[in-house]
Structure 1
Amino acid sequence: MNKEFLWGSATAAYQCEGGWKEGGKGLSNWDVFCHSEKNSVNPVTGDVACDFYHHYEEDIRMLAEGGQNAYRFSIAWTRILPDGTGRKSQEGIDFYHRVIDTCRKYHVEPLVTLYHYDLPESIYEAGGWENRNIVEQFVEYARICFEEYGQKVNYWVTINEPNYETLCCYGFGNYPPNVKDLGRRWRAMHHMLLASARAVAVFRELKLPGMVGLVSDSYPIAVLTDNEAHKKAAHMADLFFNLCVNDVCVKGAYPQDFVDQLKKDGYDLSYMKEEDPSIFADGCVDYLGINAYNRYIAEPADGPETNLGVNNTGDGKKTKFQIGNWFSLGEDSEMEKTPWGMEINPRSIYDLLMDLKRLYPQIPVIITENGVGNYDEVVDGQIHDQYRIAYLEGYVDWIERAMEDGCTVLGYFVWSTMDVYSWINGYKKRYGLVYIDYDSDDLVRIPKDSYYWYKNKIQNRRKSFNGKIHSIY
């Protein structure tokens, strides 16, 4: 097992692969959604995306040439099981063998995510994550992946962002099934966490090498006014965004005040079965993957109304986010923000890591995503993304400070390896270290200034970061 700090970058299958009808792949919910009238904000698809399906060796080679020793990617469930269950696709299985073998060829450690938003359409039509049957269906899929790739992969992720995905699906309503119903959200999230725990148990049953975790988008919660009402709002925001996922994965149980609040709000919790606590307890993770982008400012809610707005257009307009009787999100007017409203605050990763150290002192962390999206432009064949360099530089420096102060961080992955399809944000919002010329016939790759900055940063910090992690192995 790699005992070096993981310096890498990340992608997800639907966002980069393309080849949506190639290699025996079945339809996912995102394939169907993107071709429907519901895809109306930025009506583009991931049919081709970056065409990683045909460019994977080029992309992994470029990653390695950029000094990176790790690559996080996801497997498309529909390439392994085109119908979600039952019949396996050898073509799909072989594709990921080639991807993993290519990582090994270039001395790149693969970190493999089993599920990153793209659900087989047949399972989605049967209720998706709201239907408890999905737990065993996911376990079937996970077992195949573990058995196929388990001797080649040392780092696994069960599920990516149960919090953010379900917030988009059932809060903002901008991801399929495109509804606003938090009751359905809590049910779907519960089944995601059950599926993860069951998959972790299978991983251990198979006695595979390496580590298995879950990726949680997590946020330090701050207040700008120091009084009891704001402190209560901050705690409620912490429950809503962080603890409802992280406590289950690490401690094996929901926070009791989270469950009490759901009951107080009148949600139907009949989906929580008597056997679930033991499933959670048996499926605690080896590490917690953290997707870290920004912090949240909590304020008391101004009433019982829930109002969930999100900016998917990059027009700089403000949106309101309030969970009735829980909290509202405010903003710090002195902080720089992207056109999509994300605060630029690298110090926030230090605060988050120290929170995690306090809450879960025995659990190591991998920063599985960190990055900033914006409008990039090519000038004389180059992309001078200094804003991205400044953002990433600050995060890496604050991560090192947190490690010096006792946080166990095993790796850091920039989102994203190259520009990708950014879900509802489309293609104009770019996160990549490598620019994709979507107008060129062969989707030409152009390393950005941030690609070269990252290579130099890794070279300069590799020794010091390695020296801070050896005690965990």
Structure 2
Amino acid sequence: MTSSRASGRTFPADFLWGSATASYQIEGAVTEDGRGPSIWDTFSGTPGKTLNGDTGAVAADHYHRVDEDVALMKDLGLHAYRFSIAWPRVQPTGSGAFNPKGLDFYSRLVDQLRGADIAPVVTLYHWDLPQPLEDAGGWPNRDTAYRFADYARKVAEVLGDRVEIWTTFNEPWCSAYLGYASGVHAPGRNSHADSLAAAHHLNLAHGLGGRAIREVLPDAKLSITLNLHVTRAASTAPEDVDAKRRIDNLANEIFLQPVLEGRYPEELLADTASVTDWSFVHDGDAELCQVPLSVLGINYYSTGLVKKREGEYVPGDGTPGPDGHKSSPVSAWPAADDVEWLPQPGPYTAMGWNIEPEGLTELLVDVHTRYPEVPLAVTENGAAFYDTVAEDGRVHDVDRVTYLHDHIDAVGDAIDKGVDVRGYFVWSLMDNFEWAYGYDRRFGIVHVDYDTLVRTRKDSSYWYAELVRTNTIPTIESAADLT
């Protein structure tokens, strides 16, 4: 993979450089110290749900290796570390009693980060719902939003002002559609109506949870992270433009407008009328979804291209979607069976996602144009490649270095265009459990040997550390020689 972008760009002096992980992907220790089961324990433990039957039972064993991992972050010079709290570790059933050992684990982690001069950026929900709440209906059940608010309040009480930024949710699109429509993520359900109810209750939980945090910590910096889609129409034909419009509503507007404007778009309600009557939205709900944000997190990996489908939709036909998964028995997109996703030109990552840095600039500019008063941060961006440890003991991941180089430069392009971008978090700190793909895909800038759990810094980690140290994009060629 080659780059057409120049090195040497310098970022604002107060720009926040970090890395990100998620609890189920790295922690392991799923039955230790009072942790209850999550939907991902159940899903990954079900034959046929994940590649090679992989589970997060051990993952990167972060739970037992916190000291080592925080020391690694300090070596990288990170300004911030974005991690998620496992709800079933701190509240095993999702309601009722909290688990002191689970709360203590995260309290110690926050203290260690502060001691290393690394700002803790907490995500309260990165997909590991306590299984008992799923048994009671999961996110399509309104009560789950209120249980989330109770959980958020408790964690805010325990961690307090030691946390730099509080993020309510990571990528609610994935939780709603991949979990409840296509079923390729936990809990593996297949209902378009349930997926839309889940989306609303995730929005409601954001508003309720954000208010709960601010009741405890009035000055808390509040955030949510959305995986906003960059979708383009295959042509200027009205039917293709309309296909893009409908996907934009389902992918982006269903979260952006309630969270930032306190309303749902009428077009979305009309587009999905064949699936649901939206009676799960109660009077006042849309306004409750909106709570003032300190920063909006944006995750970006690739772009999508759509057209109106010609001919009958065949479920499970293997058509690639922008989520990186093949289509499953039920499409991830409610009331959009007549939308066809077209292959994108390469190059591609190991996920099969196209590499287009310009899409990140486009996304940041578009969001800023619509919501200029809301600061932005790129809370996830990175690439999976099939990495190996070379004979010299290094992982020479030049493709990842090139990817990061070009996408970080694209963030700089957005800043040059006037976008208020406050930070960038590389995904991910270390190789980990990549959801339904198990351990087959490696996103980390640190290699993890899953047999020994030994961490080995990749060239990308040295390159990123140099970027953080100098606040200037290094050349791609320098990565292999940095130490």
Same fold (TM over 0.5): yes
CA distance in 2, matches of 1:192, 1:70: 26
- DSSP-derived class of the 2:65 partner: helix
Work out which of the residue numbers 274, 280, 286 in structure 1 matches 2:294.
286
Provide runs of 4+ in structure 1 moved above 4 Å.
306-312, 316-323
**In the alignment, what sits opposite 1:435?**
447
**In the alignment, what sits opposite 1:392?**
404
Aligned length: 453
**In the alignment, what sits opposite 2:284?**
275
Q: Does 1:361 align with 2:369?
A: no
- DSSP-derived class of the 1:150 partner: helix
CA distance in 1, matches of 2:275, 2:27: 42
* 1:161-209 Cα shifts (integer Å, max 9, x gaps): 1112222113331123323221110011111110111111122223433
1:131 Cα shift? Answer: 1.0
Relative to structure 1, the CA distance from residue 378 to residue 209 in structure 2 (aligned partners, 3 Å threshold; closer, same or farther) is: same
**In the alignment, what sits opposite 1:466?**
none
Paired residues of 2:156 and 2:217 also in contact (CA < 8 A): no
1:306 Cα shift? Answer: 7.1
1:352 Cα shift? Answer: 0.5
Q: Does 1:74 align with 2:74?
A: no
Paired residues of 1:42 and 1:424 also in contact (CA < 8 A): no
**In the alignment, what sits opposite 1:469?**
none
CA distance in 2, matches of 1:454, 1:52: 21
Work out which of the residue numbers 52, 56, 77 in structure 2 matches 1:42.
52
Paired residues of 1:234 and 1:299 also in contact (CA < 8 A): yes
1:240 Cα shift? Answer: 1.5
1:428 Cα shift? Answer: 1.7
Instruction: Give the alignment of 1:44-63 within 5 angstroms.
Output: 44-63=54-73
**In the alignment, what sits opposite 1:470?**
none
Relative to structure 1, the CA distance from residue 253 to residue 42 in structure 2 (aligned partners, 3 Å threshold; closer, same or farther) is: farther
**In the alignment, what sits opposite 1:83?**
93
Relative to structure 1, the CA distance from residue 433 to residue 210 in structure 2 (aligned partners, 3 Å threshold; closer, same or farther) is: same
CA distance in 2, matches of 1:99, 1:308: 43
The letter of the residue matching 1:45 is T
CA distance in 2, matches of 1:238, 1:245: 11
**In the alignment, what sits opposite 2:8?**
none
- When the two structures are superposed, what TM-score results if normalisation uses the length of structure 2? 0.89
CA distance in 2, matches of 1:319, 1:270: 28
**In the alignment, what sits opposite 2:467?**
457
1:338 Cα shift? Answer: 2.7
Identity %: 34
Paired residues of 2:224 and 2:297 also in contact (CA < 8 A): yes
Task: Indicate the larger mover: 161-170 or 133-142.
Answer: 161-170
- DSSP-derived class of the 2:272 partner: helix
Superposition CA RMSD, Å: 2.2
- When the two structures are superposed, what TM-score results if normalisation uses the length of structure 1? 0.91
Paired residues of 1:386 and 1:450 also in contact (CA < 8 A): yes
1:329 Cα shift? Answer: 1.6
**In the alignment, what sits opposite 1:370?**
381
- Which runs of 5 or more structure 2 residues have no equivalent in the other structure? 1-12, 474-483
- DSSP-derived class of the 2:429 partner: coil
Work out which of the residue numbers 308, 311, 320 in structure 2 matches 1:300.
308
CA distance in 1, matches of 2:64, 2:317: 37
Paired residues of 1:303 and 1:325 also in contact (CA < 8 A): no
Paired residues of 2:76 and 2:462 also in contact (CA < 8 A): yes
- DSSP-derived class of the 1:130 partner: coil
CA distance in 1, matches of 2:433, 2:34: 22
* 1:275-322 Cα shifts (integer Å, max 9, x gaps): 3123124x243321111111111212335747467799xxx9976977
Paired residues of 2:447 and 2:456 also in contact (CA < 8 A): yes
**In the alignment, what sits opposite 1:467?**
none
1:248 Cα shift? Answer: 1.4
Relative to structure 1, the CA distance from residue 40 to residue 73 in structure 2 (aligned partners, 3 Å threshold; closer, same or farther) is: closer
The letter of the residue matching 1:101 is D
Relative to structure 1, the CA distance from residue 328 to residue 358 in structure 2 (aligned partners, 3 Å threshold; closer, same or farther) is: farther
* 1:361-397 Cα shifts (integer Å, max 9, x gaps): 1111111100111211111121111111111111100
Relative to structure 1, the CA distance from residue 208 to residue 299 in structure 2 (aligned partners, 3 Å threshold; closer, same or farther) is: same
The letter of the residue matching 2:108 is R
**In the alignment, what sits opposite 2:10?**
none
- Which runs of 5 or more structure 1 residues have no equivalent in the other structure? 464-473
1:70 Cα shift? Answer: 0.6
Paired residues of 1:250 and 1:363 also in contact (CA < 8 A): no
CA distance in 1, matches of 2:371, 2:115: 36
Paired residues of 1:252 and 1:284 also in contact (CA < 8 A): no
Task: Indicate the larger mover: 136-145 or 195-204.
Answer: 195-204
